[in-house]
């Protein structure tokens, strides 16, 4: 796991002291809120409906037990005893007092954490596959490259005030678990014709007001030339990206308006001036960063665990958890275990301080001290012995974290919505809670199979509703909260429940090329009616599917919106 070097420590310490002074000046009235805004955004502080919000960076979603305990301590001491894990693999505190935030940042710095690059028009926290370094199907661990991109972009003066925020994601498997096609830049780590490592590069993806799937701009960039190629893209964006209209400032608009061929030509011209120069990443630098992510000392174990198989067959609830919440590991005898933060009736992505402490304990005892945060708002123990899964499960039961629903209808992604966010038009959390309760029955969830439900409280799409199989967007209609439904969205690779780590298979294997934006099914529904509408859609799917092996997404792609519109509106959509 990456550890700060001396430069990082000095950089974070200096930034903290600058911000402490800025906060004191704001509290003393020497700075107006408007003057303070750009300063706080550079340090991850937003002003929401009821209080300031602090967004803490979790680079590539990787945490140690010590860091997770610190987050628990901060939530318990300075907030209301819980935190919210986001779709960008970060953690948000929704109730900190402004005067406490410098102290919170000081405490976070003790465990090499900060809130830099979590807000503002800069390159945001680089995200990646939550199974990175463990997944059986990856070409190589993508996290060293996420870290290299982080280091390159953190203090880059040219990228400190981009036209808009800029998001990068990296995956290293043909099955995209990082949603790279809906990022400004998506990187697929792959092998070239000579067997060397490089990257397929996508550009111009994104959600929000104008959702778009990223376009391939180059099919292979050698690993040593990656930063030169990324800088070439950012130079073109900085030069031509619009600054006159924030709604048209993202690179996806530039790609759409000028066309991928013109953008590619500009990037290639810049690339020719940059490649082989100071941005070249030599082998020794790559190896130095990769050493921080060296795999733990795995034991030599048999691929199967007789004790585990006996335990899961004797306990159906444990068996369901195994079937849904474990993922194949590259090392025999191990799996990755998903800890669902979606209990029935719970707030998606929320964890209490006590639950964070419990997960840290399990990671230390059974998981080589590693925890991951997924963009699906769950936590992951990436390296668990199959022989230890029962003990891990029992620990999760005690902590209220043993819901076996990864990839099911109740594994809902939702933004904070109008309960917290100043930009939201409608509440997301109560809708997610009611849907979770409606589909709570374990047998019914199994009958439905893989299904992603995603909810956003406004068009900014923090709940990724555009790429949900069923997406729900909260809108304001003359002062009332209404919800628009989209069908058929997909972020790329599908879906968390595709095959357990103990030898079963299941779920659809759909590659990144299948990323898609959902289509609006018809007029919106009131808060009272939207849960019934989703149930009607699910029931229609169950009636029309060609057997249990046909997933919701596959059935929708075969049928289109028409039968769902007929069920919802009786031909009056």
Calculate the CA dihedral of residues 161, 162, 166, 172 and round it to 10 degrees. Answer: -100
Cα gap 517→468, rounded to integer Å: 8
Q: What does each of the 573 residues of the chain score in pLDDT, given as a tens digit?
A: 666 777 788 889 999 999 999 999 999 999 999 999 999 998 999 999 999 999 999 999 999 999 999 999 999 999 999 999 999 899 999 999 999 999 999 999 999 999 988 888 888 889 999 999 999 999 999 999 999 998 888 878 777 778 888 899 999 998 899 999 999 999 999 999 899 999 999 999 999 999 999 999 999 999 999 999 999 999 999 999 888 888 898 999 999 999 999 999 999 999 999 999 999 999 999 999 999 999 999 999 999 999 899 998 899 999 999 999 999 999 999 999 999 999 999 999 999 999 999 999 999 999 999 999 999 999 999 999 999 999 999 999 999 999 999 999 999 999 999 999 989 999 999 999 999 999 999 999 999 999 999 999 999 999 999 999 999 999 999 899 999 999 999 998 643 344 445 533 333 333 345 899 999 999 999 999 999 999 999 999 999 999 999 999 999 999 999 999 999 999 665
Q: What are the DSSP calls for 295-330, one per residue?
A: --------S--HHHHHHHHH-HHHHHHHHHHEEEBS
d(CA 90, CA 75): 14
Is residue 478 classed exposed, middle or buried when 0-12, 13-18 and 19+ CB atoms within 10 A define those classes? Answer: exposed
Beta bridge partners of 218: 201
Are the beta carbons of 293 and 141 closer than 8 angstroms? yes
Q: Which run of H or of E encompasses 413?
A: strand 413-414
CA dist., res. 80 & res. 78, Å (int): 7
pLDDT of 117 = 83
**What's residue 498's pLDDT?**
41
Whether 213 contacts 244, CB under 8 Å = no
Helix (H, G, I), strand (E, B) or coil at 271: helix
CA distance 572 to 146: 48
d(CA 464, CA 453): 9
pLDDT of amino acid 504: 39
Dihedral pair phi/psi, residue 326, rounded to 5°: -120, 155
| Pure H helices in 28-155 | 33-41, 65-78, 101-109, 143-154
Strand ranges across the sheet with 82-85: 45-47, 52-56, 91-93, 82-85, 350-352
Distances from the Cα of 408 to the Cαs of 349, 466, 548, in angstroms?
Answer: 15, 18, 14
What is the residue whose two structure tokens read 């976070």?
Answer: 108
Q: If 0-12 CB within 10 Å is exposed, 13-18 middle and 19+ buried, where does residue 203 land?
A: buried
Q: Give this prediction's pTM.
A: 0.93
Q: Strand 215-222 relative to strand 197-203: parallel, antiparallel, unpaired? A: antiparallel
Query: Rounded to whole angstroms, how far apart are CA atoms 530 and 50?
Result: 27
């Amino acid at each position: 796991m990456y550890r700060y070097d001396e430069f990082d420590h000095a950089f974070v310490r200096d930034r903290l002291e600058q911000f402490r002074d800025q906060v004191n000046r704001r509290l003393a009235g020497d700075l107006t809120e408007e003057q303070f805004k750009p300063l706080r955004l550079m340090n991850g502080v937003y002003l929401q409906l009821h209080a300031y919000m602090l967004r803490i960076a979790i680079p590539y979603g990787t945490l140690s037990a010590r860091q997770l305990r610190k987050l628990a301590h901060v939530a318990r001491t300075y907030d209301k005893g819980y935190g919210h894990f986001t779709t960008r693999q970060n953690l948000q505190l929704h109730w900190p007092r402004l005067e406490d935030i410098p102290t919170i940042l000081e405490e976070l710095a003790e465990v090499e954490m900060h809130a830099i690059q979590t807000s503002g028009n800069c390159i945001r926290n680089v995200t990646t596959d939550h199974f990175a370094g463990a997944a059986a199907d990856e070409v190589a661990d993508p996290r060293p490259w996420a870290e290299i991109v982080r280091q390159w972009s953190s203090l880059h003066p040219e990228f400190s005030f981009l036209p808009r925020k800029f998001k990068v994601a990296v995956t290293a498997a043909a099955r995209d678990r990082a949603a790279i096609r809906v990022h400004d830049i998506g990187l697929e780590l792959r092998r070239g014709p000579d067997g060397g490592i490089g990257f397929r590069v996508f550009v111009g993806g994104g959600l929000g007001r104008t959702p778009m799937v990223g376009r391939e701009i180059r099919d292979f960039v050698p690993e040593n030339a990656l930063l030169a190629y990324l800088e070439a893209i950012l130079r073109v964006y900085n030069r031509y990206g619009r600054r006159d209209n924030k709604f048209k400032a993202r690179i996806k608009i530039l790609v759409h308006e000028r066309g991928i061929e013109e953008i590619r030509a500009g990037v290639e011209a810049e690339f020719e001036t940059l490649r082989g120069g100071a941005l070249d990443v030599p082998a020794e630098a790559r190896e130095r960063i990769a050493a921080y992510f060296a795999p733990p000392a795995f034991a030599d174990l048999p691929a199967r665990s007789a004790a585990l198989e006996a335990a899961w067959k004797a306990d159906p609830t444990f068996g369901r958890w195994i079937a849904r919440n474990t993922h194949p590991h590259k090392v025999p005898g191990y799996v990755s275990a998903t800890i669902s933060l979606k209990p029935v009736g719970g707030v998606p992505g929320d964890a209490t301080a006590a639950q964070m402490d419990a997960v840290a304990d399990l990671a230390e005892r059974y998981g080589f001290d590693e925890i991951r945060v997924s963009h699906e708002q769950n936590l992951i123990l990436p390296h668990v012995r199959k022989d230890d899964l029962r003990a891990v499960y029992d620990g999760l039961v005690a902590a209220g974290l043993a819901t076996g629903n990864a990839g099911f209808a109740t594994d809902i992604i939702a933004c904070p919505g109008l309960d917290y966010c100043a930009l939201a038009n409608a509440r997301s959390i109560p809708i997610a809670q009611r849907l979770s309760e409606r589909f709570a029955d374990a047998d019914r969830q199994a009958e439905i199979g893989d299904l992603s439900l995603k909810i956003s409280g406004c068009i900014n799409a923090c709940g990724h509703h555009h790429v949900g199989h069923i997406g729900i967007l909260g809108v304001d209609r003359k002062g009332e909260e209404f919800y628009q439904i989209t069908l058929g969205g997909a972020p790329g690779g599908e879906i968390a429940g595709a095959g357990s780590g103990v030898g079963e298979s299941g779920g659809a294997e759909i590659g990144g090329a299948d990323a898609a934006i959902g289509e609006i099914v018809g007029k919106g529904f009131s808060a009272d009616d939207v849960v019934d509408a989703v149930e009607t859609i699910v029931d229609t799917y169950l009636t029309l599917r060609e057997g249990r092996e046909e997933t919701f997404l596959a059935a929708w792609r075969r049928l289109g919106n028409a039968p769902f519109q007929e069920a919802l509106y009786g031909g009056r959509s």
